Amino acid sequence: MIIKVLGSGCPKCQQLAHNAELALKQLGLAAPVQKVQDIREIAKFRVMFTPALVVNDEVKSSGRIPEVSEIVSWLSTAAGQESA
């Protein structure tokens, strides 16, 4: 599973990365949370606002910090798709 946090590294970006790590921990999954700060790389995902969360190259949220429970839902769905 590939998880990316898109943004400048601001406090909101850091909080989103933290929430993603907490979600992984709750699910017992091991996956790195990549922090993408390069504007050209961020532009490839066509997000208008950061921070943004990307799971397996699919933008899950943009311009907000989703709750850990919401991220858990996305990650468990992604993990289920990988094992199918």
Active site residues: 10, 13
Parse the chain into domains and list their residue ranges: 8-83
Counting residues of the chain whose pLDDT is more than 70, the rounded percentage is: 98
Between the alpha carbon of residue 26 and those of residues 13, 21, 70, 75, the distances in Å are 20, 9, 12, 10
Question: Mean of the pLDDT values across residues 54-69?
Answer: 97
Please give the pLDDT value at position 82.
72
Dump pLDDT digits (tens) for 22-47. Answer: 999 999 999 999 999 999 999 999 99
The correct answer on CATH 3.40.30.10 for the domain covering 8-83 is yes
pLDDT beyond 90 at 83: no
CA-to-CA dists, residue 6 to 22, 28, 52, angstroms: 17, 23, 5
User: Does the pLDDT value for residue 7 go beyond 80?
Assistant: yes
The CA-CA-CA angle for residues 25, 27, 32, to 5°, reads 55
Q: Which residue has the higher pLDDT, 79 or 32?
A: 32
